[in-house]
């Protein structure tokens, strides 16, 4: 009961953003995405070779990125080729951009909780 946050208690945007942020919340997954972004590493083996974790751990991280929709895998026998999901990537970019918009002026009047 603890962590499957009851749907409806937060907005879709909040849940979307949190979902993506959570997927980005580990340096290995950041590193994987950066490698995929450069399009120089697209295979599990390539990624494993450049990451300081075991192959099975890489698989797990790839799965989490896939579950969050940020990447997709295409079977390219005998390997699986991973790519960034461009649509989702743009969506993530948009969500974070909107979230990190400029704050109201620090010295605005009525700035807080009067």
Partner DNA sequence: TATTTCCATCGCAAAAGTACGATGGATGTT
Partner DNA sequence: AACATCCATCGTACTTTTGCGATGGAAATA
Where do contacts with a copy of itself occur on this chain (CB under 8 A)?
5-6, 9-10, 14-15, 17-18, 21-31, 33-34, 37-43, 46, 52, 81, 83-84, 86, 89, 92-93, 96-97, 99-100, 103-104, 106, 108, 111-113
Three-state SS annotation for 11-36: CHHHHHHHHHHHHCCCHHHHHHHHHH
| Binder of DNA out of 13, 30, 37, 57 (CB under 7 A) | 57
**Alpha-carbon torsion, ordered 101, 5, 24, 90, to 10 deg:** -50
- Give the H or E element holding residue 58: helix 55-67
> Counting contacts by CB under 7 A, is residue 45 touching DNA?
yes
Q: Which stretch binds DNA (CB under 7 A): 25-33, 85-93, 94-102, 104-112?
A: 25-33
Residue linked to tokens 């951009």: 97
Out of 15, 17, 31, 59, the residue judged to bind DNA by CB under 7 A: 59
23, 29 contact by CB (below 8 A): yes
Binding site for DNA (CB under 7 A): 1-5, 22, 25-26, 28, 43-45, 48, 53-64, 73, 77-80
């Amino acid at each position: 009961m603890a962590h499957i946050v009851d749907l409806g208690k937060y907005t879709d945007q909040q849940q979307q953003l949190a979902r993506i942020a959570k997927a980005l919340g580990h340096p290995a997954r950041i590193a994987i995405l950066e490698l995929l972004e450069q399009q120089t590493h697209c295979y599990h083996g390539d990624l494993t070779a450049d990451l300081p974790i075991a192959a099975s751990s890489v698989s797990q991280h790839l799965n989490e990125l896939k579950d969050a929709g940020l990447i997709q895998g295409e079977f390219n026998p005998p390997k699986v080729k991973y790519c960034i999901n461009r649509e989702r990537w743009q969506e993530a970019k948009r969500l974070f951009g909107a979230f990190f918009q400029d704050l109201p002026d620090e010295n605005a009047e009525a700035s807080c909780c009067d």
